[in-house]
Amino acid sequence: MSADVAPPGDISTSAPSPTPPPRPSLSLRHYNTLAVATILGATGMVSAGYIAVAVFPIVYLHFLSKVAFPPESSGAPPLVYSRSKNKVLGPYIFAAAVVGLYLPTAYILDGIISGDKDGITAAVPHLFLLSAQVFMEGASYVSGFSLPVRAFVPVFYNSVRIPTILEWLAVEFSKDGTGRRIYAGRGLAVVNFALWSFNLFGFLLPFYLPKTCKLYYSKFKGS
């Protein structure tokens, strides 16, 4: 007899037990960004300091969860913003992925072909840290960390990536010439600096972080 089939006497007398909601899992996007970060780290183009920065949240998330912000419940972790309710969120995330991930990847691949070693070296730290950030955002969500602990991930990575983009800007504007790649590199660095500066100072710190704390503490107060 299969273990999934109830004995005859139990069919009419016992109510079926509710099926617990499935735990969320990482998507292909998260595995792709993990692969990108791993490949970049293995090429030697990423310094040991940046690798340490990327790995640091793995330990610190558990510290925050134990000391300051334990999980709200054992159920599925809540969302701060829903794409179905916020029509701007989906296009914003897509645009950020194009500007922050896809175009820098294409720029680095083009640099390998054209031999632009300086441009590659300047762009790689940002792409490496952003890829690590996307993976860690997914990992912190599926691991069931509380909202404030999960909020630490984008705030931390965004903060440490902005200096790498400033270094990228300095390298691009120190180049001589007027070729296609010169303008592409400068434009891409400028747009990334503007985007991620707004993301940190115009969204994460004034809106996202306070809302996570408000939802977290209001849930504990109501429980």
Each residue's pLDDT tens digit, 47-74: 999 999 999 999 999 999 999 999 876 6
- Band the pLDDT of 179: cuts 50, 70, 90: confident
Distances (CA, A) of 121 to 85, 159, 173: 40, 20, 14
Q: What is the pLDDT of residue 168?
A: 97
The burial class, CB within 10 Å (0-12 / 13-18 / 19+), for 110 is middle
72 within domain boundaries: no
Answer whether 129's CB lies under 8 Å from 54's CB.
Answer: yes
Q: What is the pLDDT of residue 80?
A: 82
Answer whether 74's CB lies under 8 Å from 144's CB.
Answer: yes
6 within domain boundaries: no
Q: What is the pLDDT of residue 77?
A: 65
The pLDDT mean for the chain works out to 87
**pTM score, whole prediction:** 0.85
- Band the pLDDT of 223: cuts 50, 70, 90: low
Q: Where are the alpha helices (DSSP H) in 98-179?
A: 103-114, 117-142, 147-173
182 within domain boundaries: yes
Q: Is the pLDDT of residue 153 over 50?
A: yes
The burial class, CB within 10 Å (0-12 / 13-18 / 19+), for 212 is buried
93 within domain boundaries: yes
pLDDT tens digits for 1-42? Answer: 444 443 444 444 444 545 545 567 889 999 999 999 999 999
4 within domain boundaries: no
Q: Range of 51's domain?
A: 27-65+82-222
Please count the structural domains in the chain.
1
